[in-house]
Every structure is written in structure tokens, then in C-alpha cells.
A and B are shown apart, each in its own frame.
Chain A
Amino acid sequence: MDFELTSEHLLFRESVASFVKKEHSFNRLRALKGDPWGYSRDVWKKMAELGWMGLIYPEEYGGLGLDFTFVMVLLEEFGRGLLPEPWISTVLLGGNLVLAGGTEAQKEEIIPAIVAGDLFVTVAYLEDGGRYDLNFCATSARQKNGGFSLSGRKIFVLDGCSADRFIVTARTSGDISDADGLTLFIISRGASGVEITPLKTMDGRNACILDLKDASVSESDIIGKQDDGYPLLADIIDQATAGVCAEMVGGMDASLEMTVRHLSERVQFGRPIGSFQTLQHKAADMFIQKELAASATYYAVASIDEKTEERSLAVSTAKTKCSSAYLEVTKTAMQLFGAMGFTNEADIGFFLKRAKVTEVLFGDADYHLARVATMKGY
């Protein structure tokens, strides 16, 4: 048993941390507030030059072929600084899904372009009425002219405003909530019958509603097997969920650090407010929650290559813990910053907003709790 990071992981952590410090600041988030993408293509390109898009992809597609712990390290640092670039959607969802289930032709077309920083890909699976279920899908794919015609609506497509390609779930057979009968299709942004309604998330990122109206795709646009897209999607969402947990842990850590600094510097009644026991105990609770969330996340990351059931249980455990812990930590932080924390001038508020967005991303605590209960056998 070994929860320690290797020296390679630690070196990598240093380089990511210094990149975030150099290329990013909370003022950049303020500057990007009105931007439809909410991130910068320049920063993205610099990340690509460092090889981070290909972090876990095999070398034959231009990647570095590193283990999943590197993802954790990278995303913890992104989470600490709240770097808004869409690494999770493009690399961990889109590219990863192509890598896991795509044909050789699909991989060769998409992966190297992602690695170069030239292509944004995301996954569209959420629908109204299904909350977070991956199998809930009313979007239909009907066979037409040797290909398929897709119709339906996807909501909150992560980084959908800037995506060049969407991987969408559509039903080729079965009922609305069946796991069987789902097929994954790649569809381009400009294709006919594809309509994009931009959304802005609370934390300044972009998402979109994706309307498909008789959008035509060919058989070669299927990822994996027809009717059998669910296991593939579930695998990749598990990985992305573990990734977002790591990001949340980084965010909790930074929120706590910022709060402790504030408590130590802010003087009231002639004393630093951090000397008041009531406030000390709130800070201690923030620490406890952060440590538990980090531990569950480490375990999920270390289990990412395990059998499906074990991995999913570890991931759902981590996501449940992180969802509640990140919110608790940032809500407490807001309280401890007082009125100041409620302004856009203070940085701490960015974390509260991110905590809320990441809480629901890939399923909230309740959703994952139900999965935990089922996997625990009740």
C-alpha cells in the first residue's frame, strides 16, 4: 500500500504550479467574465506545447503515456488556481472517449489534433428529465440513407460553445431509460441540423444547449458499437469524475489557505480574528473536510484501472465526499471573510461558485449516494 507520489509526480506538480502562477490569475478570470468562451486559446496552446493535452494518451498518437496520477496532480493545481481552460472536456472526456472506443481512422484524425491544441471536443449526454443519468436518452438516431438522422436536445454540454466536435448519445433502440440501445456519435459543430444555444455557468465557464434536428451522420461517425455505447461512456465519465474530484481538492486547499491567511491578518477587537475559538473551530472543520475529500480522491485515482465495479464505487464515494466538502469549505470561507467575501473584489467568491458548479458536474452527492448504495448491495 502506498499513497505517496513519486519524484516524477512531484516534479510535475511544481511545473504545473509555476505555469498556473505565471499564466493565470484571479484578475484573468475577472477579465474573461464577458468572454463567450471564458478561457483563452493562447493559454491553451501553451499548455499543448508542454505536452499536457497528450498527458495520458499513448505515444503513437503524440501523447506522453503517463499514469492517471499525473491527471490528479495536474487538475489539483488547476483547481488551486481555478484555471478555466477546458482540459477536462476535451482531453478527459472527448479525446479519451475516442481513444477508448474509436476506430483507427477516428483516433488518427482526432487525437493528434487534440494533442497539438488545435481541436476542442466535448461530450453531450445530459437531457431534461434525466437529471444526471447517463442512460436517460430521448435523443433518437434513425437509420436514413445508409447513415443516421439524429433528433433531440442535450443540455449543459460542458464547454459546448467552443467545441469543434460533439460526441452525443442517441438512442438506436430500447426505452428512454435503458442502458442498452445507446449509441455514441461524433458530430461536427457546423453540421446541418446542429443548433447551439450558448449558456454561461455560474463560475464563468461556457456550456451550451445542443439541439439536433434531423442532423445527418454516417456509420463511420459511430464510436464503439451500435447499441452498446453505455459502458464506454460510463467508463470515461468515471475517469472525468475522478479528475474533477482532484480539481475540487485543489480548490478546497486553496480556499482553506486563503481563509487561514485572512483569519491571521484581519484584526477586530484588538486581536487577529483567527485567535477566536469559534472561528478556529470552523477552520478546523474546513481542514477535516478537505483531508477526507483528498483521501477519497486519492483512493479513486488509484483505483481507476481496477475492475468496473470497484472503480465506480471508489469514484462515487469520492464525488459524494468532494461535492459536500467543497461546498461546506467554501460556504464557511465566505462566512469567515464576512461582507468582504461577498464582493467580486475578493477572490474567495470564485471558489464558492466553482464549488457549486463542480458539485453538480457528473452528478451531485445524491446521485452518487444512490450509486454507492446500489454498489454496496442495498
Chain B
Amino acid sequence: MNVSYSQDEQRFQEEVRKWFRENAPAEIIDQTLGGSTLDPDLQIKWHKTLFEKGWAAPEFPREMGGAGFSETEQFIFHYEYSLSGAPRPKTKFISLGMLAPILLQFGTKEQQERFIPDMISGKTVWCQGFSETEAGSDLASLKTKASLEGNEFIVNGQKTWTSMADHADWMFMLVRTDSSGKKQEGISFLLVDMKSPGITIRPIEALTDHAPFCEVFFDNVRVPRENLVGKINEGWKITGTLLEHERLDASAMGELVYAIETVRKNAAKTIFRGKPLLQDEVFRKKLAALEVDCDSLLYAFFRILSQLKIGAAPGPGSSFLKVYGGELYQRVLDLNLEAIGPYAQSWYNIEGLGNSVHQATMGWINSRSLTTWGGSSEIQRTIIATRILNLPRK
């Protein structure tokens, strides 16, 4: 066993760290804790900066405009990126993280060539239309309907929790094309131009006072048949491969480490009875306990990463990284508010205290969503129990 990076990997790590230190604009640094509160226009601008460096798509081969990084390099890149305090543009996460792998596997050559380069450059912004109000975690119950008339699908219905819908050029969505059989069997995967007539967008204000997601209404929206991905009624199968594509989300790990460093900084600045709170016996043990959990999680990432290196898939074994990582992040931000004491009740910035108070309270509120989106913690635990531990389903 050897748990150090190689010399080349260390050199790469330093290069990435240095670039982010020099190029991530001050206006977006420290937005990590606030997560999706980052202004969408800034996200798009930041994506373009990354593209100019050639780093917009670390997972993609160079000939497609990607960076062509190895598995370990991708891990290091995402980890250092998050550690710099720069936010991850949602634009990238939705288009390159979710849609692009699907298009590569199921899309036509025309679809790949038409859409992927603009995703990498950040020219087109995508949103994802999966969730519906009545479906939630039971995604297959979705009702938005698309009926084929000649060479066009006519789409009617409603999507919700759609991030960036109000800034997106395109949406990839799941629609019901058949309701006669099992609910998983009549679903199709469509690409929809957001400028199509019949689309109405209503932003939903979150507890952060920002509107990070929207409701999207479809009223007889016409979608050309060529925008169908894969075969009709096979959308569920296509979506299922999203999970198989799931990568090690090193960004989450970097964000966690960054959050812990923020707690440490805040506790060092907070004076309690003449000395920094960081030296308080009770507080320092609480922080150390989170560091132990965080480091243990990091080593779990390393273990899975070394499995990837020998060609094994991360498998469902990695699903605990999401559930535990999200819950740990919430605990870290809980302690962050504890560190600032009475300031924890404030909402806007307080003169003279810099950005940190606002980021702490905003980040704390925002972190509550981590354990509900993308399959709640409860769903993840059921996955661990039934797919890893093989406990009976009935």
C-alpha cells in the first residue's frame, strides 16, 4: 500500500492549486459555502474562464475540447478546485456531468456534434427536467406527456425544482410517451429548446431568498423528433445509466475540507473570555471530531480511487460517499454557526465583519438541501441496504 501521490501527480496538484489561486476572480471566491447562491451570470462567465484554460471538461478527451485528465488527475483537479473556494458552475454539472455522458452513449452522431462542444465552451446553458411535483423520489411516476404527431412531439405538463431554467438555452427532460404498461416502460428522453413557444418559467424562491430553481410549464410545446435521445419509451433505461456513470465527486470532498478550514478560521477569530474559541477545550474537540470524520471520508475516496485505477467500477459501494458526505457537510456548517455565536442569527452582512457572517448563515440554510436532492439520504440508505448488503426487499 502506498497512499502518497506520485511526483508527477504532486506537480500537477501544485499547478492546479496555483492556477486557481491566480485566476479565480475575487468576486466568486468564498461562494462555495453559499453554493447555488452564486449569480448565474457569474457562473457562466466563470465557466468560460475555465474553458479558455482548457479545463472546462476534465473528464473529456482532448480531441473533444476536454482536458483528457486521468482518473487520479481528475480527482486532484476537482479537489483542488473546491479547496480554492471557487464555486462549481451548475452549468457544467448539469450539461457535462449528466447529459454529455448520456449523449455519448445513446445520442446520434449529429446530436453529439451539435450539442457537446457548446456544453464544453459554456456557450449553451442546460437545465434538467426530471422532477415533478407529484413524483419526487418516485421519479418514474412522472406525468408530463409527449405525444408524437408526425415529426413532432407535443409536450404538455409541468416540471419543478429545475435549476437554472430561467437562464438555460436547452432542457433535457423525461416525458411520458406511453401510459399503458409499467410506469418505467413508457418514458422517453427529449432535448427541448427553451425558446420554444408554450414554455412558461416561474422561479421559486428558496429559504436563501434566492431563486436557484424554477417551475417550468409546457403548453403544447412542439419538439422535433430528431431531439429524441435513444429509442422511444426507453428513457428510463437511459436515465439509469446516469447512476452507472456516477463518478467520484471529489468536489464534494474539497468543499468539505474548505468548510472545515472556514470553521477553523472563524473559531480562531472569535474571542471568548480573552482567548480564541479554537482553544476552548470543548470546541476544539468538536472540531477535531469533524476533522476525523472528514479525513476518514477522504481516505475512503482514496480507496475507491485506487480501485478505479486498477479498472474496477466504484459500484454502489460509493453511494455512502454521497449520503455521509452530505450529512457531514451539514454538521460542519452547524459548527460554523456555533463558532460565530450570537452572529449566527444574522442574515445580511454586518459592517466590519466582512463576508463571513453572511456566508455562514446562508451556507447553513443552503446545506439543508444536500440530503434531499438527487435521491434523499433515506433513498440512499435503502440503496446501500438492498444493493450492497443484499437485504431482502420484501
Contacts and interface: CB of A to CB of B under 8 A. Distances in A.
Nearest to B284: A373
A301 B299 CA distance: 12
B285 A274 contact: no
Interface string A152-178: 000000000000000000000000000
In the complex, which of the residues A4, A69, A260, A293 has the most CB atoms of chain B within 10 Å of its own CB atom?
A: A4
Contacts of B295: 296, 299, 317
Contact of A295 (B2, B6, B303): B303
Interface residues of B, number: 51
B297 to A, nearest CB: 6
A3 B291 CA distance: 21
Contact of A274 (B299, B306, B310, B392): B392
B9 A285 contact: no
B382 A280 contact: yes
B127 to A, nearest CB: 31
A4 B299 contact: no
Interface string B279-296: 100001101110111011
B300 A295 contact: yes
A287 B303 contact: no
B115 interface: no
A83 interface: no
Given A1-B9, A299-B299, A369 B292 contact: yes
Contacts of A274: 385, 391-392
B289 A287 contact: no
SS of A interface (majority): helix
A264 B288 contact: no
A263 B306 CA distance: 32
Interface centre among B300, B382, B385 (most CB of A within 10 A): B385
A288 B324 contact: yes
B195 interface: no
Contacts of B302: 1, 3, 295, 299
B349 interface: no
B385 A2 contact: no
B207 interface: no
B182 interface: no
B390 interface: yes
A366 B284 CA distance: 11
A323 to B, nearest CB: 10
Given A288-B320, A317-B295, A376-B291, A2 B389 contact: no
A351 B299 CA distance: 25
A272 interface: yes
15 contacts: A1-B302, A2-B3, A4-B307, A260-B390, A264-B390, A281-B382, A283-B391, A287-B389, A288-B320, A288-B384, A295-B300, A301-B1, A317-B292, A317-B295, A320-B288
- Shortest beta-carbon contacts, A-B, top 3: A280-B385, A295-B299, A284-B381
